[in-house]
Amino acid sequence: MDATGTDGLSRTDAVERDCLFCRIARREVHADVLFEDDRVLAFRDINPQAPVHVLVIPKRHIGSLADLTGSDEDLMGHTFVVASSLASELGVTDGFRVVGNCGEKAGQSVFHIHIHLLGGRRFGWPPG
């Protein structure tokens, strides 16, 4: 059990209340949702970097890839399978990229774990 703040919420509850992607998962913030089930949500990125740019998130709050533990294996496996299915549905299986930015130094700006599904154009390597 973590500490309770002056608002009576635990630190974890306060993080989940304020987290942008938790708020999208609760449908408090609008997003163009392409897929949803009990564990995962997929929606179009607000600032697309390719003709297809979808974010796939577990609904449960996990801050980043660095926070994963063995108990997240099924959930993250499912998240990748959803990304793969969406790549097929969106017609980009001839070439797509899945990206996970972990930490501010690697470009992570929203601290709720997500994978970017990018497709519909040619990609360079190495990434910037």
Q: Identify whether the C-beta of residue 86 lies closer than 8 Å to the C-beta of residue 42.
A: yes
Q: Which of 53, 112, 114, 116 is catalytic?
A: 114
65 scored as a contact of ligand DGP (CB under 6 A): no
Question: Which long-range contacts link 84-92 to residues 24+ away (Cβ below 8 Å)?
Answer: 85/35, 86/34, 86/35, 86/42, 86/54, 86/56, 86/117, 87/52, 87/117, 87/119, 89/34, 90/34, 90/52, 90/54, 90/119, 90/120, 92/52, 92/119, 92/120
81 scored as a contact of ligand DGP (CB under 6 A): no
Per CB under 6 A, which of residues 11..30 are in contact with ligand DGP? 20, 29
109 scored as a contact of ligand DGP (CB under 6 A): yes
Fill in the amino acid letter for 118: L
36 scored as a contact of ligand DGP (CB under 6 A): no
46 scored as a contact of ligand DGP (CB under 6 A): yes
107 scored as a contact of ligand DGP (CB under 6 A): yes
Min dist. Cβ of residue 40 to ligand DGP (A): 15
Q: Which residues are catalytic?
A: 114
Q: Which residues bind ligand DGP (CB under 6 A)?
A: 20, 29, 31, 43-47, 55, 101, 107-110
